[in-house]
Chains A and B, each alone.
Chain A
Amino acid sequence: MEQERQGEQEERQRAGDLRAWLARQTASGGGVSTRPLGVAPLDQALAGGGLASVGLHCLGAAPGSSPAVPLGLALAFAKYLRAETRGAAAGSRPLIWVAREDFPYAPGLKAFGLAARDLLLVRAEREQGLLWALEECLRSGQAPVVLGRLQGLERVAGRRLQLAAERGKSACLLVETRPSGAPLPALTRWQVAAAPSGIPSVIDDDRWASHRPAPPPGRPRKYPDWVAGRGSGPVRGNALRASHPDNKLPGAPRWRLTLQQSRGGRPAEALVEWDDATCAFSLVTQPGYGELVPDAQACG
């Protein structure tokens, strides 16, 4: 009698636990959260109103574009998704970059709000080892975002990565150097092309003939000795004769993003600018010279 009652109690408790688990799962939308990019045409086209923080996203360069651009986009997305998981005390976990060659140049990470220690580089000799490493990293759940660079993803491999990402609750951002046109079992697929920055062309300006304006007060231009052999001033007569007082030229990077494929969403296109100070995208409405802005109505 006593035993029976105890068993019943245990069962009831277990049912309660399961109900609570189910409630948690449904409340968080099946466990997948999204992160809005802050660019209206893209967010509207993405399922859930933003970039999913769990799952596979494929990125590729538009034909004739620089190979560094999709790398930059991947890091920008990673920065977004990492900020998302920071709430879960995951900010200290590194991003993992898996590739065979052409890893991002670590000093350049600063433009994406990342430090060198945020990145763990995994070098694989063969494509097969690369896919295995990606899957292993995703499944372990040790990194909020796993980035990779490979030639082209096949359907089965893409499916495996998507499953591994779901299991490890992390995002996989893949840069394809030679993307095949075939649809992939990825959540999203992006094509990115570089676009001219918003600063007017100054190369024919006569400011190259004049000396650089003095730095604004309160911001002395000081470099540690090892930066450039320019400790206290110009090394040569023309060493600091330059074009822009903020040393920011050529402007913030602008990318033309094409959302080619979006699960549960629709295709879209936008011209965005990446601000490295705030680490955020913004929609460009004022095009650069000779630049065409896609019609927001036509593309959705």
Chain B
Amino acid sequence: MAQEGQRQVLSAVDPAALALGLAPGQPLAAARAQVPDLKIASRQCDAEAHRLARIEAWCQRYTPWVAADPLGDGSSGSLAFGGGAGLYLDVTGCAHLCGGEAALMADMRRRLGALGHAARIGLAATPGAAWALARFATGPERPVLALESGAGQEAEAAALDPLPPAALRLNPEALRLLANLGVTRIADLRRLPAASLTARVGSETLYRLRQALGSQDEPLSPKAPESLPWVRQAFAEPLLTPEAVAAVLDRLLTALSVELERRGLGARRLEVIGHRVDGSQVRLAVGTSRPSRDPAHLSRLAAPQRDLLDPGYGLEVLTLSAPFCEPLQASQVTASGMQDTSSARDSTAAVADLAALVDRLQSRLGPGSVARPRARARHRPERAVAHATPFAQERRRRPALAGQAEPESWPDEQPPRPLLLLPRPEPISVMALLPDHPPRRVEWRRERLEIARAEGPERLESAWWDPAEAQEPARDYYRLETGDGRRLWVYRAAQDWFLQGMFA
């Protein structure tokens, strides 16, 4: 649903709604009258554009020549264009890589379907004709349409002839005029004399017609592919010893850091691929917790895993890429670069960065082994803590609830919390003097504990919005102290008692 001037209109409908007779462009009020329990969502143009850019990048798997369709990018006029957002792919010379044009289109449709997108694909000799075929000649029952390559201009014209003039990417004024003239098909349009057509409906119509038929050139401007920082070294003689691999790796790291510095980036992940003589590959991947382009630091990170680059019969080519980078200011590299020129380990203690320590720990203990606890807005104690990355990221995660960001810390007014939480609450049997009184005696792990002091209850409700938790009963928490000073955190859920944690 989108706002168009004063009224709200449907901008897209799903197949079920289409079957009920709704169509894009229909006013919302009319649609509601037709289908009272219509589910609507407002249109998110930003998200659409973002997703289209992602698909555009994805389509570069088929051809390097991919361009977004400027008419289908969500402008208000796009409703008249027989579909939503679109992409142009120039597959000249690329189709045989997928086993021909038909196989390419089938593959593309299948993969886009797996990504959750319904696609209609038209293939023709010109962008204009392909656009017309995709948007006006295809349909739900026949989503892919291709003209035989080399069929010639006549065959193309024959395919376009039965389509409406809107298939020529004309502006709404020209379309209205043509409709008034009784021109309902492109065949009619082609029959009109060119000179009078230009005089009456403007030059654009003729221009678009020629583009579709191929007598007017239409260049596509593809998106420049964003290449990863990448360096490669090939050897005349294959590398055979681990020492040689290590030396080359250090050289590649230095080259990569120059490249990263030029772009103002720091690597968050590095990937080394070694191509062996026998055609097999060996890989090594290293992650950092903060962007870095310091070759000495990265080399230290890679060192424990260097055995993975087993030369085997010999390594012919080594490539080093940084698949995941983040911006990094130039000043940092000099500071840390100076630090590592003195290779003595003594000096590292004084100046080494905390990030470098975290990286060393993670490269040995595994990714995710270093974390910082962070508050989450949850009632349930076991869900109130998240483990965040050691360094605060600028981009905030999606909040758990719409419009509610995650809190900085737990509220100050919160009653005391235990220092140790059991991995899962353990059932205990409890004796109390009266039903709603705190426990007088607790039996846990076959040990009988006499309670001397108690505080509570503190009621923690279940999160009703969370289906996993909504069915659970609310919990009444008590803080207990046994006669010998052990402090327990127990709760009652409905009639059952559990021990969840221990205070210091």
Contacts and interface: CB of A to CB of B under 8 A. Distances in A.
B459 interface: yes
B452 A196 contact: yes
A5 interface: no
B370 A122 contact: yes
Contacts of A136: 357, 360-361
Interface of A: 64-69, 71-73, 75, 93-94, 101-102, 104-111, 115-117, 119-125, 129, 132-133, 136-137, 139-142, 167-169, 193-197, 199, 201-204, 208, 221-224, 226-230, 235-236, 238-239, 241-244, 247-251, 253-254, 274, 290
A199 B420 contact: no
B486 interface: yes
A197 B485 contact: yes
B369 A243 contact: no
B453 A119 contact: no
A68 B418 contact: yes
Interface string B435-469: 01110100000000001111111111100000000
B453 A201 contact: yes
Given A105-B420, A194-B484, A239-B459, A121 B379 contact: no
Q: What are the 10 tightest A-B residue pairs by CB atom distance, in nearest-first order?
A: A72-B504, A229-B461, A106-B373, A250-B481, A194-B485, A249-B455, A107-B417, A68-B420, A250-B453, A68-B502
A248 B483 CA distance: 17
Interface of B: 348-350, 352-354, 356-358, 360-361, 364-366, 369-375, 377-379, 381, 384-385, 387, 390, 409-411, 413-421, 423, 433-434, 436-438, 440, 451-461, 474, 476, 479-481, 483-487, 501-504
7 contacts: A116-B373, A140-B348, A140-B354, A141-B349, A199-B453, A239-B476, A274-B504
A121 B454 contact: no
A124 to B, nearest CB: 5
> For chain A, what secondary structure do more than half of its interface residues adopt (helix, strand, loop), or is it mixed?
loop
B453 A124 contact: no
Given A68-B418, A116-B375, A208-B438, A227 B411 contact: yes
Contact of B369 (A124, A204, A222): A124
A129 B377 contact: no
Given A119-B373, A123-B365, A250-B481, A228 B379 contact: yes
A94 to B, nearest CB: 8
Contacts of A201: 452-453
Contacts of B378: 226
Contact of B503 (A68, A193, A247): A68
B441 to A, nearest CB: 10
B420 A121 contact: no
A108 B419 contact: yes
A141 B480 CA distance: 40
Given A196-B481, A250-B480, A229 B474 contact: yes
Nearest to B368: A123
Contacts of A141: 349-350, 352
Given A105-B417, A122-B369, A208-B438, A223 B411 contact: yes
A125 B366 CA distance: 9
Given A72-B504, A105-B421, 13 more contacts: A67-B502, A71-B419, A73-B504, A75-B504, A111-B419, A136-B357, A136-B361, A140-B348, A203-B453, A203-B454, A224-B411, A226-B377, A250-B480
Contacts of B459: 228-230, 235-236, 239
A236 B385 CA distance: 27
B8 to A, nearest CB: 34
Nearest to A197: B481
A122 B365 contact: yes
Contacts of A132: 364
A220 to B, nearest CB: 10
Nearest to A102: B420
A227 B414 contact: yes
A142 B390 CA distance: 14
B418 A250 contact: no
